[in-house]
Amino acid sequence: MDSIGIGLIGWGTVGCGVVRVLQENESIISNRLGMPLVIRRVADLDIETPRPVAVPREILTTDAEAVLRDPKIDIVVELIGGLEPARSFILEALESGKHVVTANKALLAQSGNELFEAARRFERTVAFEAAVAGGIPLIKSLREGLAGNRIDTIFGILNGTSNYILTRMTLAALPFSDALREAQQHGFAEADPTLDIEGIDTAHKLAIACAMGFGSRIQLDKVYTEGISRIDPLDVRFAEEFGYHLKLLAIGRQEQGRLEMRVHPTLIPSTHVLASVRGAYNAVHIRGNAAGSIMLYGLGAGMMPTGSAVVSDLIDLARDMFCRAPHRVPPLGFLPERLEWVPVKPMEDIVTRYYFRFSAMDRPGVLSKISGILGNNAISIAAVIQKGREVEGAVPIVMLTHEARERDVKRSLAEIDRLDVVKEPTRLIRIEDHESAEI
């Protein structure tokens, strides 16, 4: 074997990044690997639009089957995204005896269990470093670097678009719509940003990371997901008065044999290292029982960071091929037969702290009514801010609670929102601050 043949399906932003990394770092890769990685075919529906990197015209094709059938291709790189036909292409590649590299977190979150089983059946590998956190080596850290640890917590920012929007809402006091528009103008948000701003993209990544960290099969349907589209700059400012920053967090924990998997806007102390992560950057805190707390930080998307992650997978697969050792490391880091359907704690059973903002009429006794209902539901108040100024005809009352159960919180707020002195539904943001002491 004097080279490894690579076939790309998808020649968009990430595909161009892969090509550029392979071209610019060709000698470095050959020195590390002992042989070149050679792009044999590039398939895309559009091969006419100019790209920022060039490949020989004769290797371009609009037919994905030309990649899947080519006997000179050892590894297929799937970069088209979406569920179909990406799933079918990967299954066909595996059946044809080819390894696969993918950056498709949505597909892995939905169908990863099936794809990994197919790879095992055909004695091939599906590699996916680029699927979670872009250029940050999160997958390799969970699968190999921390293999000797029991992972207790995965906690972080996994979506650069949402982090950029919240950064602009914090630093420039922009309303959500203006911050989103700015993100789109700078290329940080898609024309349809739903997957990013509603937390869906983050949920895909968290489902994969939790499976790897906690030895579970992937359970996307059990990830509680809430986005940032309803965040008001008023809440960002009140949070700062209490000493908190607002982030869209992915939170995964394993306690007493059950998992927590949730994505939602979260207040974290302004002293927490994650509070300083700005713009389109990602950062993940992992706590292992042996390694302690570690932090991974970097660009979670983009042509070159994601291309770098894809190429790292190509190098790993090439080494395994050279040693004839497929499945040297299982896809999720655990032996497939040892993976379990680990029970997931329902959201209503989650215990955490809370931020509430009530829009109440300025009348005597309102605060005592609200606090009475909270007390009757075992919710203890930690701090209160009551502003004299009116906002849209009501006075904001802002509270932070001690730890409470989600079920009790939702029951309390439903009762409070029925009061005739409360003008709007209560704003709720969860608080995570017990992790701050770990970093």
Q: Which amino acid is at 258?
A: R
**Of 67, 127, 60, the residue nearest 92 (C-alpha):** 67
Q: Which residues are annotated as a binding site for NADP(+)?
A: 9-16
Report the alpha-carbon distance of residue 132 to residue 178 in Å, rounded: 28
Report the alpha-carbon distance of residue 219 to residue 262 in Å, rounded: 12
**Of 435, 381, 404, the residue nearest 156 (C-alpha):** 435
User: What is the DSSP pairing of strand 151-157 with strand 281-288?
Assistant: antiparallel
The interaxial angle of helices 303-322 and 26-33, nearest 10 deg, is 30
Q: Which residues are annotated as a binding site?
A: 9-16, 105, 190
**98 has catalytic annotation:** no
Q: Which residues are annotated as a binding site for L-homoserine?
A: 190
Report the alpha-carbon distance of residue 334 to residue 329 in Å, rounded: 8
DSSP 147: T
Report the alpha-carbon distance of residue 267 to residue 339 in Å, rounded: 33
73, 65 Cβ separation under 8 angstroms: no
Q: What are the backbone angles phi and psi of residue 231, rounded to the nearest 5°?
A: -70, 130
Q: What Cα–Cα distance (Å) separates residue 430 from each residue in 328, 338, 340?
A: 41, 34, 29
Q: What is the DSSP string of 127-139?
A: E-GGGTTTTS-HH
285, 165 Cβ separation under 8 angstroms: no
Catalytic one of 98, 205, 222, 345? 205
Q: How far is CA 200 from the centre of its chain?
A: 8
Q: How many CA atoms lie within 13 A of 145 on its CB side?
A: 14
33 CB-near residues (< 8 Å, 6+ apart) = 4, 315, 318, 319, 322
- By annotation, the residues acting in catalysis are 205
